[in-house]
Structure 1
Amino acid sequence: MPVKVIKNLPAIEDLRADNIFVMDSERARSQNIRPLNLLVVNLMPRKTVTETQLLRLLSNTPLQIDVDFLYTATHEVKNTQQHHLDSFYKSFDEVRARFYDGMIVTGAPVEQLEFEEVDYWEEFLEIMDWSKSHVYSTLHICWGAQAGLYARYGIEKVDLSRKLCGIYENSVENPKHPLFRGFNDSFFCPHSRYTASDEVELSALTDFEILSKSHDTGLSVLTKSNLREVYLFGHLEYDRETLSWEYHRDKNAGLEPDFPENYFPEDDDTKQPRMTWSSAASLFFSNWLNYAVYQGTPYVVERLSKHLEADYDFNNHEN
């Protein structure tokens, strides 16, 4: 089934070139189907790249999805033209009265700053607070996961001895968990970060389950038992070239970046990187949409406000 987006979004052509069915908003109006409403809080600098990556993964499901993209109005965007934001993005003020079945909070290249030093931090806190009563399930990615845990529970992030950069094998701790149905015993996932959430503090949280980890990366996936909050510390949404682009960008800038591990064949950065996480990424996002969002959210999405403040168990919810 298609992902529904605003007509003429640049990502549409890239997705169609990959034989992914994307439906623009005009065509979707003719269908009498209740789509899932998703909000993507896109904090990445290359917004058009991230849009394509996420939409590619969200399309691998029999569900129709209506996607809104949100930018932080308190941050000056430098890598995306204002015309693109005006055409395809909404501000928080424009969505605060709406309800969403799911929300994705992306990573951001600000992890070496203290959370309070991030220029849009107060706006981020407002979005997190709003989501308690207006979003059914939220998927936090990389810095978005660290920031979400700090905003919600005060979990600090800690500096790593060096940048964690590369493709790493991660465990599947509970193969019967809905988010990991269909997975093998382990999977590969890109990681690209300087910090990690404090595992000691995380272990003290109640009603949470560690679903994936590894010796190299630490925690990889953490979720609340009712699936309303999912924290992915890696970047399953990355495409084949993302880590290569980041590495060569920093290398060309004379920053002497850490070499991505388990990524370039024979550690030769002139060769095409290996793609070893595509199937895991597709399955993970499909499972999140199906089990964390679709099977729990009410058909009348406006009913969310009656239940979400209580943080109820979606298995007991009456649609």
Structure 2
Amino acid sequence: MPIKIPNNLPARSILEAEGVSVMLEKDAVRQDIRPMRIGLLNLMPNKAKTETQFARLLGASPLQIEMTLVKMTEHVPRNTSADHIVSFYRNWEDVRDEKFDGFIVTGAPVETLPFEDVTYWSELERIFDWTQTNVHGLMTICWGAQAAVHHFYGMPKYALDKKMFGVYRHRILDRTSPYLRGFSDDFAIPVSRWTEVRRADIPSESGMKVLMESDEAGVCLIDDPAHRALHMFNHIEYDSNSLADEYFRDRGSNVAVDVPKNYFPGDNPDVPPLNHWRSHAHLLFGNWINQIYQTTPFDVRDIGAKATDWNAPGRAVAAE
């Protein structure tokens, strides 16, 4: 099945050119199925690029996915046109009474600030609490993941001496996890952050489990069954050129940053980078969507209404 996104969203033409099946809204309503509803709280500065990255991964599923773009209610994005925001985004306050099968919270360029100093922190905390009653499966990315484990468990983040920047080899720590089906023994994932969380701060009674880790970059992916959540501390969703764009942007702003490690062939920024993580990004998102599909209530209204065993198959989203 294709992904259902707004007809005029800029990501549509990019995805169609890549061969991703995209469904028009008028065609989606003709199919006698309930699409999986996935919300994307997009906190990244380049909204259009981030929309495309996640739509690409969600659209690879054989299921019909309806992606809803969500923004903080009172925060005004500075790097995206007001017309784009008004045309395609909904304030969280306007969707808070709705239910979602899945919900993604992206990273944000605020990681060097204390959490409580982020202007929209109080609303984000309300959103995290809301996911526990209105969302079946939560995925958090980079700073969004740091914010989630801080909110739910009080875990701190630590400033790094320099930006952890590049494509780092990772390994699987739990091969029985349904989220890691099909993963290779080791694999590469893009990393771009100035802070980190540490395994030692994971509360022993939390039930959280580290699923991916890197000797150089540290904790990468945590399964948090108590909150039906996956916390991804790196950028597996990135495009081939995302780190290059960041590198040249930082250099242009006189930010002291090294050439991204293991990224440009021969560490030469003049040579186009190769993508070593695309297949594993699709695997992770496909496995996450499948886990949601297997366990989400048949009736979307039942999401959050009663306890659901996140790790046990349930009623699939199907024809009504």
User: Matches of 1:118 and 1:229 in 2, distance apart?
Assistant: 22
Task: Give the match for residue 288 of structure 1.
Answer: 288
Q: Per-residue CA shift, 1:100-147, capped at 9, x if unaligned?
A: 000011011100000011111111011111111000010110000000
Amino acid paired to 1:297: T
Task: Give the match for residue 109 of structure 1.
Answer: 109
User: Matches of 2:52 and 2:297 in 1, distance apart?
Assistant: 28
User: Matches of 2:25 and 2:226 in 1, distance apart?
Assistant: 32
1:68 aligns with 2:65: no
Residues 318, 35 of structure 1: CA spacing in aligned structure 2 closer, same or farther, 3 A cutoff? closer
Residues 318, 17 of structure 1: CA spacing in aligned structure 2 closer, same or farther, 3 A cutoff? closer
The answer for unaligned runs of 5 or more in structure 1 is none
Task: Give the match for residue 210 of structure 1.
Answer: 210
User: Matches of 2:227 and 2:124 in 1, distance apart?
Assistant: 21
User: Matches of 1:156 and 1:256 in 2, distance apart?
Assistant: 25
User: Matches of 2:301 and 2:240 in 1, distance apart?
Assistant: 38
Report if aligned partners of 1:70, 1:92 keep a CA contact under 8 Å in 2: yes
Q: Per-residue CA shift, 1:2-49, capped at 9, x if unaligned?
A: 000111111000000001101121211111111100100000000000
1:184 aligns with 2:184: yes
* Identity within the alignment, %: 39
1:273 aligns with 2:273: yes
SS of residue matched to 1:315: coil
Report if aligned partners of 2:73, 2:93 keep a CA contact under 8 Å in 1: no
Report if aligned partners of 2:295, 2:309 keep a CA contact under 8 Å in 1: no
1:27 aligns with 2:24: no
1:305 positional shift: 2.7
Report if aligned partners of 1:7, 1:26 keep a CA contact under 8 Å in 2: no
Task: Give the match for residue 40 of structure 2.
Answer: 40
TM-score computed with the length of structure 1 as normaliser: 0.96
The answer for unaligned runs of 5 or more in structure 2 is none
User: Matches of 1:313 and 1:260 in 2, distance apart?
Assistant: 37
Report if aligned partners of 1:226, 1:312 keep a CA contact under 8 Å in 2: no
1:204 positional shift: 2.5
Residues 8, 84 of structure 1: CA spacing in aligned structure 2 closer, same or farther, 3 A cutoff? same
Task: Give the match for residue 17 of structure 1.
Answer: 17
Q: Per-residue CA shift, 1:45-65, capped at 9, x if unaligned?
A: 000000001111111111000
SS of residue matched to 2:295: coil
Task: Give the match for residue 312 of structure 2.
Answer: 315
Report if aligned partners of 1:45, 1:77 keep a CA contact under 8 Å in 2: yes
What pairs with 1:47-58 in structure 2 (closer than 5 Å)?
A: 47-58=47-58
SS of residue matched to 2:76: coil
Task: Give the match for residue 296 of structure 2.
Answer: 297
TM-score computed with the length of structure 2 as normaliser: 0.95
Report if aligned partners of 2:4, 2:24 keep a CA contact under 8 Å in 1: yes
SS of residue matched to 1:160: strand
1:272 positional shift: 0.2
Report if aligned partners of 1:155, 1:197 keep a CA contact under 8 Å in 2: yes
SS of residue matched to 1:295: helix
Amino acid paired to 2:118: V
Task: Give the match for residue 7 of structure 2.
Answer: 7
1:74 positional shift: 2.3
What pairs with 1:119-138 in structure 2 (closer than 5 Å)?
A: 119-138=119-138
User: Matches of 2:227 and 2:74 in 1, distance apart?
Assistant: 30
**RMSD over equivalenced CA pairs, Å:** 1.4
Report if aligned partners of 1:139, 1:229 keep a CA contact under 8 Å in 2: yes
SS of residue matched to 1:165: strand
1:152 positional shift: 1.2
